[in-house]
Amino acid sequence: MFEIKNVSKKYNGEFALNNISFTMGKGLNFIVGASGSGKTTLLKILSGMEQDFDGEAYYCGKSIKELTSNEKSYYYNNMFGFVWQDFNLLEDVSVLDNVLLPQYLKNKQNRKKAETILIDLNIVDLAQQKVKYLSGGQKQRVAIARELMKNPQVIIADEPTSALDEKTSKTTMDILKAISKTRTVIVVTHDTNLIDNNSNVLNLDKGELIASPQEKIVTKTENLTFNESHRLSIKNAFALTKLNVKSKFGRFFVSTLALMVAGILCLTTISGAIGGSSQGEFDKLIDTYGEGLKDISVVGSFISAGGTSGNKEEKPKADVTQDIAGLYDKYAGDKRIDFTAFLQAFENIKVKVSGKEYTVKSTGGTPSINKLVAGKMPSGKDYEVVVPESFVETLGISNEQAIGKEVNFSSSMYNWNTGKPVLKDAFLTATIVGVADTTVYYESQGKMTSYKVSDSFFFNKAALDDMRKQAEIKSSNMNFLIRAKTPADMISIKDELNETGIVPLGRFELVEDIVRLNKQTTEQSGSASVLIGMLSVVMVIAIFLITGLMRKREFAIYKISGFHNAHLSLLNLTEMITGAITAILLMLVTSPLINLATQGLFKASILNSKMLLTGALLIALIAVVAYFTTMITFMKTNATTALKTGDR
C-alpha cells in the first residue's frame, strides 16, 4: 500500500532520512532505530504531515506529496488512524464522546458502532467516564477505539506503549496485532521486545534504512476514495459546541463574562454616559429655577449695578443703553435656541373673549415665561398672542380649548419719547396661539419661592408694531428674550453678544459653572471612557488569544480526527454565537444590578431599551473580534508540533 522511493529529508543541512526506499502493506509493521535515527520523520512523511521532502512517496498509488489539505483531512477522518504515546484525548470529555469525535463529520453518529468497539476493547463500562479519571492503559484503549471509529485502512502508532507498564503494553500490542489482521498498522518503537517474528521491521540508523521488509507489494489505487462533501453540519457544530461548553464550563463562563463586561464598558464609552454626569446637576438647577434659567434677555436699556462696592455713599447704579436693533431677527432662526419672545410690558389690561370682558391684574413688569404648556409661540403676519395659564383658568376652559380663540386686547403702554414714561392706550384683536406657564422662581432670604405672573402676554412682531404705533412709541428697539436649548448654547450666545458689545441679562454665573464643569468632565472622562472601551476590547482579545493557545492541543486533536480549518471556523462560529447570546442574556438578567453600578459610578442609567439594544449589538460586535482572534490560533495550529510525536 505504501511505496517509498529514494526519500530523503534534511533538517538544517543534516539528513534525517537519507535515500530510503521500501514498500509496506497490510499487517504489523515496525519502524525501529535509535533516538534521532529518523523514525518520526518517516512517520510524518507516511502520514502526509510532512510533505516537503526529496524522492517519492505513494499511498495506494496516490502521491502523498501532492495531497491537498482537504484530501488529508478526509483521509484522517476515514482512512488514517493515529495512536500516540500520550494518547491525545479530550481529557474532560467522556470516553464515548471521545470515541465519537471523528463521527461529527458524518451526517449521523453511529453510536452502536462505538459501543461495539468499546465492548471489543473491554472498556464499555467506562463509556460515561471522563477520560481524565482513567489509567494510562485504559486511555490508550480509548484512543485506539476512537481511531477504529474511522474504520481506517492504516493505523500509525508512535511509541504507543512507552507511557504504559509492561502488562498494559502487552495488552495494547495485542490489540494492535489483532487490528493488523485486516489493516496496515505501523508502530514506531524503541522497544524491540514488542516485535515478533511475523512482523515486518524497518530498521533505521542515522537516517538510513539498514533492514526492510522482504516482501514485494504491488501497489494499486483500489479502495482509495475521496469525498468532496466532507463537511461539518451546523447541527453537529452546535452539538460539538454543547459538548465543549459542558466539558469546559469554566472556560466558557469566563469568555462569556469577558464579552458581557466589554460590551457594557463599550456601551458607557459610546453613549457618553460617563461624560453626562454634570447634566444631572443642571437638571437639578432647572428643577429649582425653572426653564427660565436658560433665558437670555436682550434689552435696549437697563439699570446696571456694576462698579458698586456696596457703599451706599457711592453712586451705585448706572443707566445702560445699547442698540439691539436687528438682533431679534438674527437670533429668531438660530439653531441654538428654543424660541424668542418680545418683552413688552402692559398696564391696565382688559381682555374681551367671546363677548365677555376680563380685567387682568397688572404687575407693571416685563412678561415672564417658564414654559409653553400648549400651542406655539406667536409668529407670522396675523396678530397672534400667547396668554398666561392663569388667564385661561379664569376663562374656565382648558388650555387646548383656548387655542384659536379671538381676544380683544386693550392696554396702556409706556411711551418714553420725552424721556419720561407716559401711558398711552392701544388696542387690537389677536388669536390665542399658545398658553404659557408664567411661574417666576426666585431666591428670598436663602429660600426658593415662586409666583405666577398674571399679565404676561406675548405678541408677535406684527401685533406689537401695531400697538406701539397706536401708543406713538418711536423707538424701534424692542426688548426680547432668547430661550437657549442647552446651558452650553446659552453661554455661547451670551459670549457672542458680549463680543459685539451687547450686555445681555440672565443667570449666567449659575449656568457657566455647570458648562465649565461639564466641559471638563466630558474632556477628562471622554478620554478616560475611550481608554476603558479600548482596554475592554484588548482584554477580550487577550482572553480569547490565551484561551485559543491553551486549546492548541485540542485543535490539533480535531485536526488529526479529520477536521480542517473550515470545519474549525464553523465550530468557532457556533461557539461564538452561543457565547454572545449567553452574554446578552446575562446582561439583560443582571441589568438592574449593572444599572446600580453605572448609576453609582457614572450617574448614567442603562435600563432602557435603546441602551440595552446597543449593549447587545456591541457584545455581538466584540464576539466578531473574538471569533477572528480564536481563528488565528487554530489556523496557526500545526497538528504535528502541537501533538508531541516521538519520545524526544
Tell me how far, at minimum, the Cβ of 163 lies from ligand ATP, in Å.
14
Smaller CB distance to ligand ATP: residue 83 or 511?
83
Distance separating alpha carbons of residues 3 and 46, to the nearest angstrom: 9
Tell me how far, at minimum, the Cβ of 255 lies from ligand ATP, in Å.
33
Task: Work out whether 579 is an interface residue with ligand ATP (CB under 6 A).
Answer: no
Task: Rule CB under 6 A: choose which of 18, 23, 29, 40 binds ligand ATP.
Answer: 40
Smaller CB distance to ligand ATP: residue 31 or 540?
31
> How far, in Å, are 557, 563, 620, 637, 644 from residue 634 at the CA level?
11, 11, 21, 5, 17
Task: Work out whether 85 is an interface residue with ligand ATP (CB under 6 A).
Answer: no
Distance separating alpha carbons of residues 484 and 490, to the nearest angstrom: 5
Task: Work out whether 646 is an interface residue with ligand ATP (CB under 6 A).
Answer: yes
Tell me how far, at minimum, the Cβ of 49 lies from ligand ATP, in Å.
11
Q: Which three cell numbers stand for residue 175?
A: 490489540
626 exposure class (CB count in 10 Å sphere: 0-12, 13-18, 19+): buried
Smaller CB distance to ligand ATP: residue 38 or 548?
38
User: CB-based contacts of 438: which residues, under 8 Å, 6+ apart?
Assistant: 367, 368, 369, 370, 388, 389, 390, 452, 453, 454, 456
Task: Rule CB under 6 A: choose which of 25, 36, 55, 276 binds ligand ATP.
Answer: 36
Smaller CB distance to ligand ATP: residue 406 or 647?
647
Question: Candidates 30-38, 127-135, 340-348, 628-636 — which segment interacts with ligand ATP by CB under 6 A?
Answer: 30-38
Half-sphere exposure of 80 (CA within 13 A, CB side): 27
Task: Rule CB under 6 A: choose which of 7, 39, 240, 289 binds ligand ATP.
Answer: 39
Distance separating alpha carbons of residues 26 and 22, to the nearest angstrom: 14
Task: Rule CB under 6 A: choose which of 21, 35, 308, 608 binds ligand ATP.
Answer: 35
Task: Work out whether 11 is an interface residue with ligand ATP (CB under 6 A).
Answer: yes
Encoded one letter per residue, x for contact with ligand ATP by CB under 6 A and - for no contact, window 615-634 reads --------------------
Q: Does residue 631 contact residue 571 with C-beta atoms inside 8 Å?
A: no
Helix (H, G, I), strand (E, B) or coil at 57: strand
Report H helices in 220-348: 234-247, 249-271, 277-289, 327-332
List, in sequence order, every residue forming a beta bridge with 415; answer none if it has no partner: 422
CA-based angle 26:31:37, to the nearest 5? 155
Task: Work out whether 13 is an interface residue with ligand ATP (CB under 6 A).
Answer: no
DSSP 8-state assignment for residue 453: -
Tell me how far, at minimum, the Cβ of 141 lies from ligand ATP, in Å.
23
Task: Work out whether 173 is an interface residue with ligand ATP (CB under 6 A).
Answer: no
Site for ligand ATP in 446-475 (CB under 6 A): none
Task: Work out whether 37 is an interface residue with ligand ATP (CB under 6 A).
Answer: yes
Task: Work out whether 160 is an interface residue with ligand ATP (CB under 6 A).
Answer: no
Which regions of 280-346 does DSSP assign to beta strands (E)?
295-298, 301-304, 318-321, 337-342
Using DSSP bridges, classify how beta strands 154-158 and 80-84 pair: parallel, antiparallel or unpaired.
parallel
Question: Candidates 241-249, 520-528, 627-635, 640-648 — which segment interacts with ligand ATP by CB under 6 A?
Answer: 640-648
Task: Work out whether 375 is an interface residue with ligand ATP (CB under 6 A).
Answer: no
Question: Candidates 28-36, 94-102, 259-267, 626-634 — which segment interacts with ligand ATP by CB under 6 A?
Answer: 28-36
Half-sphere exposure of 131 (CA within 13 A, CB side): 24
What letter represents residue 217's amino acid? Answer: I
Task: Work out whether 33 is an interface residue with ligand ATP (CB under 6 A).
Answer: yes
Smaller CB distance to ligand ATP: residue 20 or 267?
20
Distance separating alpha carbons of residues 386 and 434, to the nearest angstrom: 4
Task: Rule CB under 6 A: choose which of 18, 23, 29, 41 binds ligand ATP.
Answer: 41
Whose CB is nearest to ligand ATP?
646
Tell me how far, at minimum, the Cβ of 204 lies from ligand ATP, in Å.
7
The secondary structure element, H or E, covering residue 62 is: strand 62-63
DSSP 172-237: HHHHHHHHTTTSEEEEEES-GGG--TTSEEEEEETTEEEE----------TT----TT----HHHH
Write a three-state SS string for 45-56: HHHCCCCCCEEE
Smaller CB distance to ligand ATP: residue 12 or 223?
12
Distance separating alpha carbons of residues 37 and 17, to the nearest angstrom: 8
Smaller CB distance to ligand ATP: residue 556 or 623?
556
Task: Rule CB under 6 A: choose which of 1, 29, 32, 38 binds ligand ATP.
Answer: 38
Smaller CB distance to ligand ATP: residue 205 or 338?
205
Tell me how far, at minimum, the Cβ of 522 lies from ligand ATP, in Å.
57
Task: Rule CB under 6 A: choose which of 16, 148, 237, 604 binds ligand ATP.
Answer: 16
Q: In angstroms, how far is CA 427 from the centroid of its own chain?
A: 64
Tell me how far, at minimum, the Cβ of 41 lies from ligand ATP, in Å.
3
Task: Work out whether 18 is an interface residue with ligand ATP (CB under 6 A).
Answer: no
Question: Candidates 34-42, 70-78, 309-317, 556-564 — which segment interacts with ligand ATP by CB under 6 A?
Answer: 34-42
List residues near ligand ATP by CB under 6 A.
Answer: 11-12, 16, 33, 35-41, 646-648
